Amino acid sequence: MPVFKPLTNLSLSDLWKEVKISEEEIWGDLNQEQKLFLKHTLEKTMRIELSGYLKVCDYQRSDQRTGHRNGYYTRSLETPYGMISSLSVPRSRDGRFRTAVFAAYERRKQAVSDLIKGMFLSGVSTRKVGALLETILGYGVSAQTVSRILRSLDGEVNKFHRRALSDDYQYLFLDGVVLKHKSVTGAKKRLLLAAYGIRYDGKRELLDYLAASSESQLNWEAFLNHLNARGLKGDRLKLIVTDGCPGLEAAVTLVYPQVKRQRCWAHKLRNVANYLPKTRQEEVISEAGIIYRAANKRTAVKCYWNWAGKWRDLFPKAVNCLEKDLDDLLTFLEFPQAHHSGIRTTNAIERAFREVRRRTRPIGCFNDPNSIERIAYGIFFNH
């Protein structure tokens, strides 16, 4: 079996704190999606220019027409996000149309870059896209034009949700994160249910995510059935790692009943800590870490009984919290030792969630569910 590079070990302090990441790193892993959005925006802007030159919109008949379209040619453009290849530039039949976009973009490159960052932190709002187009063109555009561009980005999100999946995954991680969006009755919570996989060649990727009202069995079941229908049958899956959510556990049992289950140690130890006084949490949880660092299941069980024997009289609820799920917590020990640190928690998907929380914290509350979809796609794209 190929051995993939293990995920970073989860330290005890990582169970509660977020990882510090520089601004350069935060925006660096968004480059691909920002570049895609900029490509769509520039292409749409040039089509707007050509419509103005011809005095007629796409597929429109008009006595004011001054010419006809004549397909496209492609060129590349260097941007702060890297090279954009195969940029489609429209042509007129008379050969006289010249776009002003490239020269304007070069003059305002940094302003465009800053606006794109702002759009991703605001869920790509209509106002921000309008400001971007005005920066590129030097004049304002209509709300209808902005809406067409946003629908273009939504199309990329929909393609991501509908793309075919392979059944070449050995490990599957499932978890959810809470975000908020505005409604007519005030702010409402919205869950992002996410699936993250590790393939047999060691490649890791986000399979999909779903904005849902809760982590109910119904929502998780619909999400998992959607993955199944797109190709993730689970015939080669060896392990599914979850946070222990009852709705998720029930859904996994229905959709992938044949796959072994691993309970996330990070989530479980947080639960254990809830039954401990703050002054004793670090000591008790630190000693519990000896259990999951054991080399094999027999040693882990022995470590558990030593830990339980020491703390049961003082903190019986904390010990029982761990004991009731001990079998599912130790499943990972049945797999190659090189994989242990990467499959005993949902840390892989939790890292992506930390990015969502960090980048959406300035927003506080999204304007609508579609904006959640856009920014989640932008953040998750490279994880």
Q: What is the pLDDT of residues 238-290, one digit of tens each?
A: 999 999 999 999 999 999 999 999 999 999 999 999 999 999 999 999 999 99
Question: Which of 131, 160, 189 is the last residue in one of the domains?
Answer: 160
**Same domain for 269 and 258:** no
Return the residue matching tokens 């060649």: 201
Could you tell me which residue, 141 or 170, shows the higher pLDDT?
170
Asked if residue 201 lies in contact with residue 3, where contact means CB atoms within 8 angstroms, the answer is: no
Question: Which of 108, 129, 160 is the last residue in one of the domains?
Answer: 160
Could you tell me which residue, 247 or 28, shows the higher pLDDT?
247
126-130 contacts, C-beta under 8 A, 24 or more apart: 126/150, 129/41
Note whether residue 276 is domain-resident: yes
Report the distance separating Cα 242 and Cα 255, nearest Å. Answer: 14
**Same domain for 256 and 329:** no
291-301 tens-digit pLDDT: 999 999 999 99
Mean pLDDT to the nearest integer, 346-364: 69
The pLDDT confidence band at residue 55, using thresholds 50, 70 and 90, is confident
**Same domain for 244 and 221:** yes
Phi (first) and psi of residue 232, to 5 degrees: -85, 75
The pLDDT confidence band at residue 45, using thresholds 50, 70 and 90, is confident
Residue 172, H or E segment? strand 169-183
Confidence at residue 237, expressed as pLDDT on a 0 to 100 scale:
97
Report the distance separating Cα 258 and Cα 235, nearest Å. Answer: 8
Note whether residue 17 is domain-resident: no
**Same domain for 272 and 212:** no
Q: Residue 165, Cα to own-chain centre: how many angstroms?
A: 16
Mean pLDDT to the nearest integer, 159-167: 91
Report the distance separating Cα 139 and Cα 141, nearest Å. Answer: 7
Note whether residue 11 is domain-resident: no
Burial class of residue 27 in the structure, from the number of CB atoms within 10 Å of its CB (0-12 exposed, 13-18 middle, 19+ buried): middle
Confidence at residue 118, expressed as pLDDT on a 0 to 100 scale:
56
Could you tell me which residue, 86 or 235, shows the higher pLDDT?
235
- pLDDT exceeds 70 at position 302: yes
Least confidently predicted of 18-32, 113-127, 174-188, 241-255: 18-32
Note whether residue 112 is domain-resident: yes
User: What Rg, from alpha-carbon coordinates, does the chain have?
Assistant: 25
Count the domains in the chain: 3
Least confidently predicted of 66-75, 185-194, 330-339, 345-354: 185-194
Note whether residue 371 is domain-resident: no
**Same domain for 329 and 215:** no
CA angle at residue 15 from 12 to 21, to 5 degrees? 100
**Same domain for 113 and 244:** no
CA angle at residue 381 from 378 to 382, to 5 degrees? 125
Three-state DSSP class for residue 68: coil
**Same domain for 232 and 190:** yes
Confidence at residue 1, expressed as pLDDT on a 0 to 100 scale:
40
Confidence at residue 157, expressed as pLDDT on a 0 to 100 scale:
81
Note whether residue 221 is domain-resident: yes
**Same domain for 357 and 228:** yes
CA dihedral over 306, 316, 9, 20, signed as positive or negative: negative
Mean pLDDT to the nearest integer, 70-77: 88
Residue 318: domain span: 265-344
**Same domain for 148 and 137:** yes
- pLDDT exceeds 80 at position 69: yes
Least confidently predicted of 42-51, 146-155, 358-367: 358-367
Confidence at residue 3, expressed as pLDDT on a 0 to 100 scale:
40
Residue 186, H or E segment? strand 186-199
Question: Which of 96, 131, 160 is the last residue in one of the domains?
Answer: 160
Task: Write out the two tokens for 86.
Answer: 């195969």
Mean pLDDT to the nearest integer, 21-27: 38
CATH (domain of 351): 3.30.420.10
**Same domain for 40 and 125:** yes
Mean pLDDT to the nearest integer, 333-343: 94
**Same domain for 216 and 357:** yes
Confidence at residue 91, expressed as pLDDT on a 0 to 100 scale:
92
Note whether residue 381 is domain-resident: no
Note whether residue 94 is domain-resident: yes
**Same domain for 290 and 210:** no
Task: Write out the two tokens for 63.
Answer: 């006595």
- pLDDT exceeds 50 at position 228: yes
